[in-house]
Amino acid sequence: MFVLSLLGTVFLICPYGGELRDPLRESGMMCYQCRKFHLGLCYDVMKSCKLKHKQSCATENFYTLTSKGQSMYHYSKLSCMTNCEDINFLGFDKRTELICCKHSSYCNLPDGV
């Protein structure tokens, strides 16, 4: 009797047949995937990618720098990225902004660009 109650407890705690699973992986979180996205259009083939372990939806915004040092938006790249962290890269003639999210499916669509 004790064995049956113990077995029942295991199935209540681990509903996947006693196997621990990552809830993010099981949720089916999806992201947009496009190599060149600009002003609401994908100039490549718009695809989707499913988040895997340690991944986030990513938006890479590419800017060119003017002679006065101002950033002019050029295009974005949408993808699923492993170990993604929000960051800005500044070079001599371009700036790249990386934005990561995983709060909802398809959260990597750029705002206002």
Residue 43 inside a domain? The answer is: yes
Residue 68 inside a domain? The answer is: yes
- Please state, in angstroms and rounded to a whole number, the distance separating the CA atoms of residues 9 and 1: 13
How many domains does the chain divide into? 1
Q: Give the domain extent around 50.
A: 26-101
Residue 31 inside a domain? The answer is: yes
Chain segment 50-107, per-residue pLDDT in tens: 999 999 999 999 999 998 889 999 999 999 999 999 999 999 899 999 999 999 999 9
| 113 confidence band (pLDDT: 50, 70, 90) | low
In sequence order, what are the beta bridge partners of 96?
Answer: 62, 89
Residue 70 inside a domain? The answer is: yes
Residue 9 inside a domain? The answer is: no
Residue 71 inside a domain? The answer is: yes
Residue 2 inside a domain? The answer is: no
Q: Choose between 6 and 30: higher pLDDT.
A: 30
- Please state, in angstroms and rounded to a whole number, the distance separating the CA atoms of residues 113 and 111: 6
